[in-house]
Structure 1
């Protein structure tokens, strides 16, 4: 298991965005979600934090459009926490763990849910699976609605929908490719080159802890791309 997400991190986190009071229209106004927002904001660089919030806004809209139970007040808190934590494996607290970055994020999310008295094991499991599989093409899209939407939203934010299994619906594609929607959320939570920040973080972890980057995993493929061209300074070619 990864180190507890509550472990203190360095007091300096380069690139962290300036704090803002979470507006009620963005963060469900309950302790679980307010705490998740604050914790992720403090422990991830701004490019990855902003990406995580944009993923939430996409996933929330997908759930609402599908009239899913995930859009109801009770389950939205789980959806919110899963989205915010989906890249927490890239935080400093996960650096020395041998677990994959996806598993570290999933473990951190489960720990946060338990700490806030989420006792429904099924909800915790749903969140864990959505995070652990969000880099697993062809599996995340089919294992559960939440896992599907987290993966689709992350891909959409990285302009990666072209790699999605053709099972994506017209309604999902319409929302995820809506330029007005994208411009609105990116104005509030700017991109700040998240591909570079996340790719570098995951690759550096894999180089330091090879067990974090099994050969066929996303991290492993990026580590291999870096090793093949170590002088490359742009976004990892396998991102």
Structure 2
């Protein structure tokens, strides 16, 4: 794989980057871009780059937009994964992306916190889920040759705490945003009961730190 830190170009890619950079904290926006790079490295590691289902532009959209539901564009009226998927779909629709591709991106974003499901819903959902997971330290060995350069270009900036704050804040806005046993619902419960979430505690053992 001829890997680099170059990002996709063109009107859609520019809109994707502009949207996350203006609606998310810098730490969450950087997390989203790192997730794209890590997903690409995983795809190369597993020999998926020539797969008919592999689409770099859709992977960029799904990974970079996956936390829109934790940003300023979200109203906190639904689970952050679903609200983010809806926002991403609207953006892609404005750029005339085919509906079938929009649906794939929607599903990848909506399922990015659903282990055991995302991996079985096609290559885009799988790579999005795993790319995000690698940024939390899962399968770190796969990206070890590139992670220092990726982190230098897109530093973490206390990402875990920043993301947890954003998810919990929106989860507190409505019952629909924090249904029982959803990630946001559990994080809101943990913050209220203990002052800290398991996600934040787990950052202590992440090879990349917080």
Task: Sort the TM-score into its range (normalised by shorter chain).
Answer: 0.7 to 0.9
Query: Which residue does the alignment assign to 1:91?
Result: 71
The two structures have a TM-score, normalised by structure 2, of 0.85
- Partner residue, 2:207: none
**1:222–1:236 Cα contact (<8 Å) kept:** no
Cα deviation, residue 55, structure 1 = 0.5
**How many angstroms does 1:234 deviate by?**
9.8
Q: Deviations over 1:23-51 (max 9, x none)?
A: x9522221111111122111111110000
Q: What are the Cα deviations for residues 192-220 of structure 1, in whole angstroms up to 9, with x where unaligned? A: 11110111111111122221011110111
1:116 corresponding residue in structure 2: 95
Q: CA contact under 8 A between 1:196 and 1:234: conserved in structure 2? A: no
**1:192 aligns with one of 157, 160, 174:** 157
Deviates more, 1:221-230 or 1:194-203: 221-230
Q: Is structure 2 residue 44 aligned with structure 1 residue 66?
A: no
- Are residue 40 (structure 1) and residue 20 (structure 2) matched? yes
Count of residue correspondences: 197
Structure 1 unaligned residues grouped into runs of 5+: 1-23, 162-172
In structure 1, C-alpha distance between the alignment counterparts of 2:18 and 2:70, rounded to whole Å: 16
1:32 and 1:116 in contact (8 A); partners too: yes
Query: 2:191 matched to which residue of 1?
Result: 226
Report how far residue 79 of structure 1 moved.
1.5
Q: Which aligned pairs between 1:132-151 and structure 2 lie closer than 5 A?
A: 132-151=110-129
Deviations 1:116-154 (A, max 9, x none): 0112x2211110000000001100111111111111111
Q: Which residue of 2 aligns with 1:217?
A: 182
Q: Output the CA distance in 1 between the equivalents of 2:200 and 2:185.
A: 12
Q: 1:63 Cα deviation (Å)?
A: 3.0
The answer for the alignment partner of 2:79 in structure 1 is 100
Deviations 1:98-120 (A, max 9, x none): 1110011111111111100112x
Shift of residue 70, structure 1, vs aligned partner:
5.0
